[in-house]
Amino acid sequence: MKIESEFLDISYEAQPDCTTLEVAVGPVKTRYPVDHGGMRMVCLTMPPSLVGHHVPVTVTGDGRLDVWGLNFREDELNVAGLPYNPSAEKECVTKSESLPLSIQWFATWKCNYNCSYCWQESVNLSYRSERPIKADVNKWVDALLRFNPNEVYITGGEPTILSGIEDIVAMLGAYTHVSMTSNLGKSFNLDKWFSRVPVKAISGVTFSFHPSQVSWEDYQLKLEHFCDHYGPEKTGVELVMHPDQVGFKQPLLDLAKRLGIETIKIDTYCEQPTIYPKPVSKVKCDKEAFPADPAARKANPSPDREPYYCPAGMKRVNVDPVGDVFTCMSAIDRGKMFGRHTLPHYKSIGNIFDPGFQLRPRPTLCWETFRCSQCDADRLADYWVPHGFKHQLPIPE
């Protein structure tokens, strides 16, 4: 097969007995977990040196797998031959012009707790092994304020593990709205917070309760102290609905009510981690273009599977512990799961410490708004503009 560009979209449909696929480009093999329930897609990024050469490409599955098509992208947004819609893209830019920038900052992936349901468990080796960059407090503050955000939301891991976090919060809070999520464990030093972080510097801190890691009594006591000092309007509570801890929902609601706390997050439980078995049998691979003609594609099953222009990357960014910037939470998670084979539009758009770094000048074309993270969707959903393509696109991994 002639390698036409660095980006190869592989559209497939897997039956339940197929759990992984492996793409071999010459001698280089890459494994992906597969998803079920219709047509899906992964995108392989190849070295530029291969472009223009003829190289054998095979796709292997460990069960029944139909490869719908192999399509090279002209650039990162040219998914499976999808044409641009300049007027929809412009509408998204215009609509979001007045939207202020918001930043979600993952201060560290490290955590002093070890919850079995942690979303980081999906790629625990990657998340847990990474250290934050060694940047001093002023460097982080300058970098995070550089684009004049209206909001910096700090999360992790456990953000209070990062040395100097109290000073960072206090300094950021002098210029913008700052909020945070914490587990309220040992690294959250109340005395330090009371002495270094003025009440007016924070918009709020939400404290997640993890019954497998801390007693209800310790959590409750510490929460009360924080709430006494900063006030109930700046205090939030959170609980994951793991089967072993659903019994804490009512006590948490009662506690919030007693203290006058209105920020209450009750999260759905998702089992972690996903386990990927080995591929065992070769199934199929041909150069078989996914139909470029929309009429030849199936109608889209639902509007939230249609492509939208989204101002992620322009008006909202997610920053990781080394300062790499991503359009959104989906991008960070896909980046961790698929490494250098992440879909091109989900790769980091630069590093916040790089003097030449700029926010994205154009909206992102996204066709998985249905699984946009709540934090991103809350800020951006009103600014999504439909691309107008009404036919089915493969769902990215």
Which of these ranges, 37-45, 100-108, 112-120, 267-275, lies near ligand SF4 under the rule CB under 6 A?
Answer: 112-120
**190-219 positions binding ligand SF4, by CB under 6 A:** 208, 210
Total binding residues toward ligand SF4, as defined by CB under 6 A? 25
We find the least distance from the C-beta atom of residue 116 to ligand SF4, in angstroms, to be 9
The DSSP output letter for 246 is: G
Nearer to ligand SF4, 276 or 370 (CB): 370
Among 111, 141, 152, 227, binds ligand SF4 (CB under 6 A): 111
DSSP letter for 300, please.
Answer: P
What x-and-dash track marks residues 366-385 binding ligand SF4 by CB under 6 A?
x-xx--x---xx--x-----
Report, in Å, the least distance between residue 310 CB and ligand SF4. Answer: 3
Contacting ligand SF4 (CB under 6 A), which of 364, 383, 385, 394?
A: 364
102 binds ligand SF4 (CB under 6 A): no
User: CB of 124 within 8 A of CB of 76?
Assistant: no
**Phi/psi at 137 (5° precision):** -55, -45
Return the axis-axis angle of helices 165-173 and 137-145, rounded to nearest 10°: 40
* CA 290 – CA 394 distance, rounded (Å): 10
User: Rounded CA gap, 204 and 169, in Å?
Assistant: 11
Per CB under 6 A, the list member of 330, 332, 333, 338 interacting with ligand SF4 is 330
Q: Of 10, 34, 115, 393, which one interacts with ligand SF4 (CB under 6 A)?
A: 115
Contact between 161 and ligand SF4 by CB under 6 A: the answer reads: no
> Residue 43, interface with ligand SF4 (CB under 6 A)?
no
- Find out whether 396 and 43 touch, Cβ atoms under 8 Å: yes
CA-based end-to-end distance of the chain: 24
**C-alpha pair distances (Å), 364 with each of 55, 204, 258, 310, 330:** 31, 30, 44, 5, 12
Among 328, 332, 343, 349, binds ligand SF4 (CB under 6 A): 328
* Nearest residue (CB) to ligand SF4, 42 versus 328: 328
Among 19, 20, 183, 245, binds ligand SF4 (CB under 6 A): 183
Q: Is 342 in the site for ligand SF4 (CB under 6 A)?
A: no
Min CB(382)–ligand SF4 separation in Å: 12
Phi, psi torsion values for 81, nearest 5 degrees: 80, 15
Other CB atoms within 10 A of residue 10 CB: 24
Dihedral angle, C-alpha 194, 135, 119, 35, nearest 10 °: 160
Residue 324: count other Cβ atoms within 10 Å of its Cβ: 21
**Site stretch for ligand SF4 (CB under 6 A), options 85-93, 191-199, 221-229, 323-331:** 323-331
Least separation in angstroms between CB 311 and ligand SF4: 8
Q: Please select the residue that binds ligand SF4; options are 6, 9, 22, 158, rule is CB under 6 A.
A: 158
* Residues 238/207, Cβ–Cβ less than 8 Å: yes
Q: Does 79 bind ligand SF4 (CB under 6 A)?
A: no
Helix extents (H) in the chain: 86-95, 124-129, 137-145, 165-173, 190-196, 216-230, 249-259, 329-338, 374-380
CA-based nearest residue to 87, from 366, 363, 391: 363
| Of the residues 113, 175, 269, 353, which one makes contact with ligand SF4 according to CB under 6 A | 113
Selection from 342, 322, 341, 340 nearest residue 331 by Cα: 342
Residue 327 interacts with ligand SF4 (CB under 6 A): yes or no: yes
Footprint on this chain of ligand SF4 (rule: CB under 6 A): 111, 113-115, 118, 120, 156-158, 183, 208, 210, 310, 312, 327-328, 330, 364, 366, 368-369, 372, 376-377, 380
